[in-house]
Amino acid sequence: MSPTYDVIVLGLGGMGSAAAHHLAARGARVLGLEKFGPAHNRGSSHGGSRITRQSYFEDPAYVPLLLRAYELYERLERDTGCEVATLCGGVMVGRPDSRTVAGSLLSARRWDLPHEMLDAREVRRRFPTLTPAEDEVALYEARAGLVRPENTVAAHLRLADRDGAELRFEEPVTRWEALPGGGVRVRTARNTYSAGQLVICPGAWAPRLLTDLGVPFTIERQVMYWFQPSGGTHAFAPERHPIYIWEDARAVQIYGFPAIDGPDGGAKVAFFRKGTVCTPETIERTVHDREVAAMAGQVADRLPDLPGRFLTAATCMYSNTPDEHFVIARHPAHPGSVTVACGFSGHGFKFVPVVGEILADLALTGETPHPIELFDPGRPRLRPGFTAAPA
């Protein structure tokens, strides 16, 4: 009997929703399965905003994918009329030899990306909300900004549905298997489905759903905070206040955004990493006063008007690999029928549309023209015992 679907997409968050869209747009018979509702807040694709940037300190190898992601975000807005990206500019701040600054500069120079280097005085002049120390500098990138995760997921799901994908929500997967003769079978709490191909985008559920992948994932609880600036949100509007990633002398990074949701929305800030290990079942959703105080204390000297009044906080999860690079590939144990996208290590959402394109390539043809060698699950740095070098 022929499989009911060409491709089943497991997980319809950021990556899965984009994969469902790109697959359906190419005429594939697609079934999308999601444990929760559409654009939910139980995983990693929520929180109102995510940073996007091109001068990428993590590795220059990401830049071609970022350039394509920018094109696809623009297309997504045109096709849906939904606001998904705001390019308000961004600064990568720290000492000149910090990973945030030096790594960003390396990518900008290697790929000839437009950028400016600003000393502390110039940062304060252009952006009065920021007060770097005299020994700090910033790389300014006019094409940096933010993307809206909930809007992005909803827009991709809308296009997938338009093009014929069958999307099922509140239907958790209990088991999947690659069949000896080819194809896959997926069991959920409601039914059993078959398809020629399976795309797995499990987010924080990777350790449970990809036990045979051989990647030692670590799931981290992260907290996002919103503060009402003491002088109001006018100075923190997107046309005045950039996104930022700021690394201090101890290599602690924070990141933040303009106030994008009106006068009562406040401005969002968070630590980049510095989370606590958890699982999707054990994550502490309550944010405690001591955590709010630690965040306010971290930003007080850098953005003195920001921690005026705490508004709210929300948790999300990072799915980390040992080297903090992604995993995007055909599953090495099931290369004929299973494709995986996972381990986005807290910096993946800006890549969502291009990852969707890559996953459609791999599922339908077994290869992609995009450079994804860095994301091979068999790379040496994912072997047990590897520890990422200090920044």
Annotated binding-site residue numbers for FAD? 6-36
Taking a C-beta distance cutoff of 8 angstroms, is the pair 200, 339 a contact?
yes
CA distance 127 to 37: 39
378 neighbors 332 (Cβ within 8 angstroms): yes
Asked if 203 and 197 count as a contact pair (C-beta separation under 8 A), the reply is no
Distance CA(363)–CA(106), nearest Å, equals: 33
Kindly write down the DSSP assignment for every residue of 200-264, as one continuous string. Answer: E--GGGHHHHTGGG----EEEEEEEEEEE-TT-SGGGSTTT--EEEEE-TTS-EEEE----S-TT
Give me the residues paired with residue 86 across strands: 146
Residue-wise burial string across 78-96, b where 16 or more C-beta atoms lie within 10 A, e elsewhere: eebebebbbbbbbbbbbbe
Tokens at 71, concatenated: 């094109």
Look up residue 222 and give its two tokens: 């992260």
CA distance 103 to 98: 8
Known binding positions: 6-36
Which residues, 6+ apart, have CB-to-CB distance to 210 below 8 Å? 200, 202, 217, 331, 340, 342
Q: How far is CA 255 from CA 92, 270, 291, in A?
A: 9, 6, 16
